[in-house]
Amino acid sequence: MRRTRAASLAATVAAAALVLAACGGGGGGGSQDASEGGVFADCATSPNTCNSAPADQLQQGGTVTVASEKNIDNWNVISSEGNVDWTGMATKPLVPYTFYTAPDLKSTMNTDLLASADVTSDSPFTVTYKIKPEAVWNDGTPIAADDFVLNWKWQNGRDCPECETAGNGGYDLVTSLVGSDGGKTVTATFSKPYTDWQSLFGSSAPLYPAHIGAKQGDLNTPAGVKAAFDYFGSTPPNWSGGPFQVQNWQNNVALTLVPNPKWYGATKPKLDQLVFRIITDATQEPLALQNNEVQVLFPQPQVDLVSQLQQIPNVSQFQNQGLTWEHFDFNLQNKFLADKALRQALFTAVNRQEIIDKTVGQFNKDIKPLNNHMFIPQQDGYQDNIAATGQGSGDVEKAKKILTDAGYTGVGTALVAPDGQPVPALRMRYTTGNAVRQNECELFAGYAKQLGVNIDISTTDSLGDTTSSGDYDVIVFGWIQSPYPFNGAQQLWLSNSGSNYGKYQNPAMDQLINEAAASTDPADATAKLNQADEMLSADAYVLPLYQKPTLAAVQNNIGNVRNNSSLDGISYNTSEWGIKTSS
Amino acid sequence: MLAFAVRRILISIPILLLASFIVFALGVSSGNPLAPLLEKNPPAPPNVIAAETVRLHLDQPLIPRYFSWLAGLFHGDFGPSVVSTMNIGHELGARFWVTIRLIALAMVIALVLAVVVGVLSAVKQYTVTDYTTTFLGFLFLAMPSFWLAILLKQGGIEFNKAVDAQVIYTIGATSIPPPPGTGAQIVDVLGHMVLPTIALALISYASWSRFTRASMLEVMNSDYVRLARSKGLSRRTVMVKHALRTALIPLTTVTALDIASIIGGAVVTETVFQWKGMGDFLLTAIRTEDVYAASSWLLLTGVIVVMFNLIADLLYGVLDPRIRYA
């Protein structure tokens, strides 16, 4: 009996040890532990050139696998269904485009495709693109004006009303698109100046081969244009105008690319194969990286994820401040929130730094409050238009004074409006399952409580429904800042914009935004947008919190991979990727 | 027996219809499949929203939508997915075989292990073997499947490090691109199957081994086994020919009934190991509010569960000749 008990105890201890050992596994790494830095050490100061490896320091050949978090359901990124971040990144090595967004978030001309792209006339506003003579599709057909025209017909709203596009602005302003020099010069004439002309035919709405589209129908008819639009959405491409072409597509599993033999760009791919492996559960990515099943990750940063990556030897990670920014929004259809004083007081009581420290600051110490609605710090034109208003400072005394001066009573206990009506509890919404936003709402409720305002926090399963129906008093969510801020401002802030969910109306601001978007002078446009932002900030309609970071992690032996926080993402420069010879 | 089988199948039809309607109704009322379009920045144009509303039948009331979906099933049309390029029937069919491959192997391993360990544990009751297997059984029973899967992954990575070679994989069913040569490809597939199969098998093994042990103990203490022994039959003959055959009957029931929970376990296992089977299909359908896809999944799973229950009932007759179907 004694023997049995002893053996049983030993078995128990052994099994427990096994489990605990497994729990602690992978924590090693010693002196080579990855952390913020490594091959990305200089990315904060040199985002466009960090982790550089010249071609002569890269192996010829090899396979690099990127963990892609979404399947490709529609291959046409111009369509509303195909306009998905990971579809854009996976097809980036296949499509030609005029401009892209570099890791420093600056709009940059694609010099592989274009010799030049310039505004050649202010009246009428005219842009002329010169396509390089050597630029061809992988079947040898020149990339030419016809490809621009097909793209334009899809998006201008006139030639293909049935085309379900993602809604890229500016194409409707193009009145004519004419090819010359055998199609290698493309001249776009506009009905009025368009400040963000560089967004047209850019990496978010790239070129598709018109000669293949023409096989689907007559491109001079709406039906033919629509047939081409649908064809490019439903058919995995065997065509390419980029550095790679498709070798194999396994739905829901992986996209395998190989070098395009007709690639005309300056940098020839070093890799034999580039694989986008679909891993839809981001929490599985670090182990796949550790087991060398993938070499490049581009997930949303989370505390656990960042910490897991730090434990993996020979891996570097870097977080960049991205284009998505979180914000608190008021719904001005609530009659109490229609009063500017209450809005100003609530936003003044909000302590943005504390919110950051208690949420995203836990995995990124560099995140700071965002102080502009129109620009982010990486963009020319960014200036602090919020700090002077006191909003986001957490100055409760100042907030109380705003209310007292405006005639409110019960400040700090149970707030009563100047007309004698008690301010009811405000309903604050956030997306179900988003722990960061839940914390942000709870902190907001704490700040409001100090002013005598109660906040009822509830979740929403459908952010789109909630915002578009205005079913909230206060809400927290994120906007993706356009790399082209002038058109972006029209989409977000104009009184009649579909994205102006809280129904903020300011004709003076509308005028400034519209003038900025149609200016031919960039400095003038920037100044006008900042004037509009000052108005918006003073009216306390939306309080920007912070830019959400993006995270890139890579095996240290992979060169030229960088964290590009724009929609171009990690794959903006795949022709440069390679395996370092020194590894 | 044929009449019995037909009766059971007929009874299951209204159950399946009711279950599919409930899931369809819950799916329809749980959210808006157009939400991703509405949340886009810039927002999707109104003509896009309108076109999708019509394509997904969102402009129709619940009952006509359900019955038109049901009618479509008879000619192989599983309804429109939120992913316009996806044919739900084709996709579900492809994913079905991925999941079946995982489940079938895991069930075979789990059953063999459960029977061997359960019998051993019963025969060696209150010995070190019994205590150890009992402890391990309860340990695996108590472990959440996703956690067990993560532990196995970590173990696989450590194994690779120890042998300094890529033997065990943590993601997917094969390497991309696959290694050259048939032999290398077989090894590659096995290397991808090891962990998810073990993860799924261990969870089922735990409960099944306990059932086998309990059942064996009950049988071993029964009069007819005592009689067989007293007649001088060898211990091995008594155990295998008389005791085990009877003891397997309750395990058959449990195994058949557990098929639903195994499919549930496969959802977790497939997610952790990124196998693109039915589990991944269901999760994607739920995440994207794809009502037709989720309802089709349920219908197929329901049919599988009903079939396994029927098989279990029919097996009773084979295992125990005393049972006769009226």
List, for residues A17-50, the tens digit of each pLDDT value. Answer: 434 333 333 333 333 333 457 899 999 899 999 9
Residues B110 and B196 in one domain: yes
In a domain, B34, yes or no: yes
Q: If you measure CA to CA, which chain A residue comes closest to B177?
A: A256
Least confident of A67-81, A496-510, B2-16: B2-16
Residue A4 in this model has a pLDDT that exceeds 50: no
H/E element, A18 = helix A2-24
Structural domain harbouring B299: 1-46+288-326
CB of B234 within 8 Å of a chain A CB? The answer is: no
Q: Residues of CATH 3.40.190.10 domain(s) within chain A?
A: 32-92+245-322+551-579
Q: Nearest Cα to B252, choosing from B173, B323, B168? A: B323
The amino acid sitting at A87 is: T
A158 DSSP assignment: S
Just give the CATH number of A32-92+245-322+551-579.
Answer: 3.40.190.10
Chain B residues near residue A62 by CB distance under 8 angstroms: none
User: Where in chain A do CATH 3.90.76.10 domains reside?
Assistant: 107-234
- Give which of A69, A163, A287 to mutate to test B binding, by max B Cβ within 10 Å: A287
Report yes or no: A213 and A135 within 8 Å, Cβ to Cβ: no
Say yes or no: B40 and B119 in one domain. Answer: no
Domain assignment of residue B84, yes or no = no
pLDDT of the residue at B4: 76
**Contact at CB, A467 and B176, closer than 8 angstroms:** no
Q: Are residues B110 and B255 in the same domain?
A: yes
Q: How many domains are contained in chain B?
A: 2
> Which of B 25-64 lie inside 8 A of A, CB atoms?
30-32, 34-45, 47-48, 51-52
Q: Residue B284: its chain A contacts at CB < 8 A?
A: 71, 280
The pair phi, psi for residue A275, each rounded to 5°, is -115, 130
- Say if B283 falls within a structural domain: no
Q: Using the beta-carbon criterion (under 8 Å), do A277 and B84 form an inter-chain contact?
A: no
pLDDT digits (tens, 9 = 90+) for A445-484: 999 999 999 999 998 877 877 888 899 999 999 988 888 8
Q: What is the pTM of this model?
A: 0.86
Confidence of residue B325 (pLDDT cuts 50, 70, 90): low
B41 with A491: Cβ contact below 8 A: yes
Residue A15 structure tokens: 């099994």
Residue B89 lies in a domain: no
| Helix, strand, coil fractions of chain A, as percent rounded to 5 | 35, 20, 45
Asked if B9 and B131 sit in the same domain, the reply is no
- In chain A, CATH 3.10.105.10 covers 327-549
With CA atoms as reference, the chain B residue closest to A230 would be B85
All residues of chain A having their beta carbon less than 8 Å from the beta carbon of residue B271 are 280-281, 284
Q: What is the pLDDT of residues B108-130, one digit of tens each?
A: 999 999 999 999 999 888 999 99
Q: How far apart are CA A174 and CA B158, in angstroms?
A: 59
Show residues of chain B in contact with A166, CB under 8 Å.
40, 42, 44
Check: CB of residue A205 under 8 Å from CB of residue A80: no
Instruction: Give the model's pLDDT for residue B242.
Output: 83
pLDDT tens readout for residues B156-200: 999 999 999 999 999 999 999 999 999 999 999 999 999 999 999
CATH fold group of domain A107-234: Dipeptide-binding Protein; domain 1 (3.90.76)
The tens digit of pLDDT for each residue in A408-445 reads 999 999 999 999 999 999 999 998 878 899 999 999 99
Assign residue B198 the CATH number of its domain. 1.10.3720.10
* Residues B259, B135 within the same domain: yes
Whether pLDDT at A6 is above 50:
no
Which DSSP category does A31 fall into? G
Give pLDDT tens digits for B246-285: 888 888 878 887 887 788 788 889 999 999 999 889 988 9
Q: Which residues of A touch B31 (CB under 8 A)?
A: 461-462, 465
Rounded to 5 degrees, what angle do the CA atoms A81, A84, A89 make?
A: 135
Check whether residue B198 and residue B300 sit in a common domain: no
Strands A63-68 and A273-278: parallel
Cα(A373)–Cα(A329) distance, rounded to whole angstroms? 12
Pick the CATH number of A327-549 from 2.70.210.12, 2.60.40.60, 3.10.105.10, 3.30.10.20: 3.10.105.10
3-class SS string, B123-162: HCCCCHHHHHHHHHHHHHHHCCHHHHHHHHHHHHHHHHHH
Contacts of B168 in chain A (CB under 8 A): 291
Q: Which of A490-494, B2-6, B309-313 has the highest mean pLDDT?
A: A490-494
Residue in the block written with tokens 């904060």: A44
